[in-house]
Amino acid sequence: MYEKVIAVLLTFSLLFCLTACGSPEKTTSSPSGSETLSDPEKGSDPSGEEQKDSTGITSVVHPDFALTDGFIEPVEPKDSAPEGYIPLFTPEELDKVRLNPGANYILMADIDLSGSTFESIGVEEAFFGILDGNGYTVSNAGVPLFERVSGGMIQNLHIEGQLQQQSALLVRFAENAAIQNCWSSGSILETEGGHCGGLLFKVTNCNIISCYNTADITADTASYAGGIAALAEENNTFTNCFNTGTILCDSNNEDTSAGGILGYTYTSASDRFSVIFDQCCNSGAIDAFCAAGILGNYQSRSEDGVLEISRCYNSGVITGNSRCFIAGICNIVELRDSDVWIGNCYNIGDLTGSSGICGGESFFDNGWDGVSYDFDRIHIQFCHNAGGSLLQAGIAYDVKNLNQCYFLNTTAETATHDGALFASVRALTSDEMKNQESFEGFDFETVWQMGENGYPVFQSPLYTGIDGIG
């Protein structure tokens, strides 16, 4: 068994390293003396080809990331189980996974759990093996497929169903785990104050790669909700993930937070914790007290925490009430002794709230419960906002380090709520917004290109809803 654990952890470590290579690097010695984000690594030329599959999701993507039979990474189903894997054909065989949670399993057919009394795997002992979905679907479990995954891996799986008063379609608690090339569809209805995510409920020290959600989530009471995950603690990475599902929470309740990728993350320990988003996007409608296209609510009391968001965008409609934190990319609700780096991101979704890119705590008189925070540690560079109207801030509510950012002048009067001036931050007219020369500092050789909507978009855009824009 110990050899099995080591093998799984080594696999997870390799995936983590591969992901980290794509995250932004920081430099602290720019010509102006301020910290800046470096450019992301160079990508291949885009194909420019529009592709559409049975999910109804339209993509204008790099050919390596085209959706194939519903999966981001193409899956060629195996005809027989590879050596070392136990094949699963029936609901009864899937149910027996709980008896040997450290083994390797592979689905050999779609499995419909309708009418069964299925109980989540991992209630008594966490799953720490490998489940390869092999491109197949598990449907109608009525509960999360897994209660707890610790040190294991789940990949190439489509999970589908309708949940009520349940936390997530795939995994309730995932720790030290890798979730790769999985997607969720269906719906989640939560009316008793529980938190919910399309794929995952709570992740701790996890690596989530090439996953997406199309399930609609409705939470009527105090809840955290996210298209991929509801809650995150400690070190987590989200790479190449997206959401098209609608996420609706009670926007009149201050305890609700929702994000297209992640609803809420909180770090309280003194260790260095990092949350990384790279190449993620949202096109689903979101409504909550704290709502954003990528990360709904970031709170950090870590002495050396880091939040990094790179090459991400939002095209979804994000709403709330007049006191809400609303932003295209993320909300910073609490920040102590941590750093936030946002680079090469954009919003074109309609917003009714505070900020085009990043919402800040000062929206509540500079401090939740009267505590002030140091917003000098938030760094935003090479971003633009063309969505929303009458925002409190075109880019970020209360951020001091803005560099080479741009926003449509009809969305807000100033880049920040207090009208602070930045030499390289400008409000642009609609005509200027559609002129590549207006975006000084943007890398149009390897990162950006002018999109069909006239605004800058990524050269290798990821995935969008049917009405979205890449």
| Sequence-separated (6 or more) residues with CB below 8 Å from residue 262 | 226, 228, 229, 230, 231, 232, 238, 275, 277, 294, 295, 296
Decide: 290 and 330 in contact? Cβ < 8 Å: no
* Distance (Å, whole) CA 264 – CA 295: 7
- The pLDDT of residue 299 is 84
- The pLDDT of residue 361 is 57
Q: What is the DSSP string of 43-111?
A: -PPP---EEE-TT--EEE--GGG--BTTBSS-----SSPPTTEEEE-SHHHHHGGGGSTTSEEEE-S-E
Of the candidates 223, 200, 214, 455, the one whose C-alpha atom is nearest the C-alpha of residue 345 is 455
| Sequence-separated (6 or more) residues with CB below 8 Å from residue 43 | 62, 446, 447, 459, 460
Assigned domain for 90 exists = no
177-202 confidence digits (pLDDT tens): 999 999 999 999 987 778 999 999 99
Conformation bin of residue 419: beta by default, left when phi > 0, alpha when psi is -120 to 50 = left
- The pLDDT of residue 66 is 60
Of the candidates 136, 143, 134, 156, the one whose C-alpha atom is nearest the C-alpha of residue 95 is 143
pLDDT at 166 over 90: no
- The pLDDT of residue 371 is 47
**Confidence label for 386 from pLDDT (cuts 50, 70 and 90):** very high
Instruction: Measure CA 157 to chain center.
Output: 18
What is the C-alpha R_g of the chain?
21
121-158 confidence digits (pLDDT tens): 999 999 999 999 999 999 999 999 999 999 999 999 99
Assigned domain for 293 exists = yes
Assigned domain for 273 exists = yes
Q: What is the DSSP string of 191-244?
A: -SS--EESSEEEEEEEEEES-EE--EEEE-SS-EEESSEEEEEEEEEEES-EE-
Indicate the residue type of 301: R
Provide the number of structural domains found in the chain: 1
Indicate the residue type of 258: A
- The pLDDT of residue 374 is 63
Of the candidates 45, 146, 22, the one whose C-alpha atom is nearest the C-alpha of residue 447 is 45
44-53 average pLDDT score = 36
8-39 confidence digits (pLDDT tens): 444 444 343 333 333 333 333 322 333 333 33
* Distance (Å, whole) CA 264 – CA 207: 16
Q: Choose between 174 and 255: higher pLDDT.
A: 174
- The pLDDT of residue 461 is 52
Q: What is the DSSP string of 110-124?
A: -EE-TTS----BTSS
- The pLDDT of residue 269 is 66
Assigned domain for 302 exists = yes
Assigned domain for 120 exists = no
Q: Residue 15: which H helix or E strand, with range?
A: helix 2-20
- The pLDDT of residue 86 is 98
Of the candidates 280, 307, 274, the one whose C-alpha atom is nearest the C-alpha of residue 294 is 280
Assigned domain for 292 exists = yes
Q: Which tokens sit at 240? A: 């190449």
Q: Choose between 321 and 232: higher pLDDT.
A: 232
**For 113, phi and psi rounded to 5 degrees?**
-95, 15
CA atoms within 13 A on the CB side of 225: 38
Of the candidates 434, 417, 422, the one whose C-alpha atom is nearest the C-alpha of residue 381 is 422
* Distance (Å, whole) CA 38 – CA 41: 9
Instruction: Measure CA 202 to chain center.
Output: 13
Q: How many CB atoms lie within 10 A of CB 336?
A: 17
- The pLDDT of residue 204 is 95
Assigned domain for 206 exists = yes
Q: Which tokens sit at 185? A: 């569809």
Range of the domain at 304: 2-39+135-464
**Confidence label for 6 from pLDDT (cuts 50, 70 and 90):** very low
- The pLDDT of residue 163 is 93
First-last CA distance in the chain: 45
In this prediction the pTM is 0.84
352-383 confidence digits (pLDDT tens): 877 899 987 544 444 444 444 567 788 999 99
**Confidence label for 167 from pLDDT (cuts 50, 70 and 90):** confident
294-312 average pLDDT score = 87
Task: Kindly state the DSSP code that residue 306 receives in the 8-state scheme.
Answer: E
Least confident of 25-29, 121-125, 274-278, 441-445: 25-29
Assigned domain for 68 exists = no
pLDDT at 335 over 90: no
Of the candidates 361, 304, 360, the one whose C-alpha atom is nearest the C-alpha of residue 337 is 304
**For 171, phi and psi rounded to 5 degrees?**
-135, 135
By percentage, how much of the chain surpasses pLDDT 70?
79
Q: How many CB atoms lie within 10 A of CB 116?
A: 15
CA atoms within 13 A on the CB side of 123: 9
- The pLDDT of residue 182 is 96
Q: Which tokens sit at 209? A: 């790669």
Looking at every residue in the chain, the average pLDDT score rounds to 81
3-state secondary structure at position 19: helix
